[in-house]
Amino acid sequence: MTESPPPAARRHAVVTGGAGFIGSHLVDALLATGGRVTAVDNFLTGRRENVAHLAAEPRFTLVEADVIEAVPVAGPVTEVLHFASPASPPGYLEHPIETLRVGAEGTYQALRLAERHGARFLLASTSEVYGDPEETPQREAYWGHVNPIGPRSVYDEAKRYAEALTTAFGRARGVSTRIVRIFNTYGPRMALQDGRALPNFLCAALQGEPLCVHGDGRQTRSFCYVSDTVAGILAVLERGDAAPYNVGRPGEMTILDFARTILRISGSKSPIVHGAAWPDDPRRRDPDVTRLCGLGWRPRVGLEDGLGQTLRWFAEALGRGVGA
């Protein structure tokens, strides 16, 4: 294992993309350790309301900036967690160049910040680096099956490059690095118009509209509640090594079964309809988390409990007209 995290009294973590869905929950968790946290976000896909509850917190700072240009944070800095990037298909398909640049130039700027301050660096990568996998469950040793010029490649290849750059900074410049490959995560603060299956299904169910399953619905996903994902990220940050870690809840289910689960939990009578399949949509997603469990991590929130909490948040958000 690696060195221990810094004491809370001198801990200053910088989270790029800190106003995003997972980033904002990570900010909360880091603040709970007693240190200072600076969130950097340009609000391309992040939302101010995700961190609005921290406005009066003296240990929290929000910096509006584009990390492609620089990460304008004064030291000392003890940890840099790079979460800046569009993460949903509508987000990265609408902003393909920005997605590629934040994976390349943004990762470089965040790594340079960590290097200057002797800080630990953690990269938020993704299960999308595995592409449409030829093995299930996916192990970190699997190299992937990715279309390098397909519509999803702007996200897939940005993250694959970011992993290579992070590894290079560790090997060539001695930066203490971590990489987490995050699988499907859900919970409060997801954008209502995120475009992925869960927000689409929940919004449709709550509004009495059809749930649209793209393709035949036999493609599988695993779903991890955001608090479990954040706990996994912190386990890697504090106790992990430089090799990638899958972070997600094992146990795949088909998208069609997932839509039926949403209908049952919500009590909605909405019909399920089928639409065109997404290009290069992976057929299987299921993480092997043996390495993560070796750090003492276990998922604690079951699917039904997590969906219930998320359903209540979506219902309130729809009523307030926020989270779009």
For the chain, 324 residues long, give each residue's pLDDT as a single digit of tens: 456 667 776 899 999 999 999 999 999 999 999 999 999 999 999 999 999 999 999 999 999 999 999 999 988 999 999 999 999 988 999 999 999 999 999 999 999 999 999 999 999 999 999 999 999 999 999 999 999 999 999 999 999 999 999 999 999 999 999 999 999 999 999 999 888 899 999 999 999 999 999 999 999 999 999 999 999 999 999 999 999 999 999 999 999 999 999 999 999 999 999 999 988 889 999 999 999 999 999 999 999 999 999 999 999 999 865 555
CA 219 to chain centre: 20
Angle, helix 303-320 to helix 255-266, in steps of 10 degrees: 70
- Location of structure tokens 């839509």: 259
Hey, what are 301's tokens?
């929130």
Q: Which of 12, 13, 19, 68 is nearest to 40 (CA)?
A: 19
Measured CA to CA, the distance from residue 182 to residue 245 in angstroms comes to: 8
The answer to whether 130 touches 222, Cβ cutoff 8 Å, is no
Angle, helix 197-206 to helix 303-320, in steps of 10 degrees: 60
Print the domain residue range for 155. 11-186+224-248+287-297
With respect to residue 146, please indicate whether it lies within any of the assigned structural domains. Answer: yes
With respect to residue 202, please indicate whether it lies within any of the assigned structural domains. Answer: no
Determine the pLDDT at residue 319: 85
CATH code of the domain in which 98 resides: 3.40.50.720
With respect to residue 214, please indicate whether it lies within any of the assigned structural domains. Answer: no
Hey, what are 90's tokens?
């509508």
Output phi, psi for 323, to 5 deg.
Answer: 85, 10
With respect to residue 5, please indicate whether it lies within any of the assigned structural domains. Answer: no
- Location of structure tokens 């007693």: 34
Determine the pLDDT at residue 139: 98
Total-model pTM:
0.95
Determine the pLDDT at residue 5: 65
With respect to residue 200, please indicate whether it lies within any of the assigned structural domains. Answer: no
Active-site hit among 92, 155, 186, 225: 155
3-state secondary structure 13-38: EEEECCCCHHHHHHHHHHHCCCCEEE
Length of the chain in residues, anyone? 324
Name the CA dihedral angle for 23, 24, 30, 31, rounded to a multiple of 10 degrees: 160
With respect to residue 33, please indicate whether it lies within any of the assigned structural domains. Answer: yes
251: alpha, beta or left? (left if phi > 0; alpha if psi -120 to 50): left
- Element containing residue 234 per DSSP (H, E): helix 226-239
Determine the pLDDT at residue 10: 86
- Location of structure tokens 């970011």: 162
The answer to whether 247 touches 178, Cβ cutoff 8 Å, is no
Number of domains in the chain: 1
Determine the pLDDT at residue 171: 98
With respect to residue 26, please indicate whether it lies within any of the assigned structural domains. Answer: yes
Active site annotation includes 155: yes
Q: Rg of the Cα trace of the chain? A: 19
With respect to residue 100, please indicate whether it lies within any of the assigned structural domains. Answer: yes
Determine the pLDDT at residue 195: 85
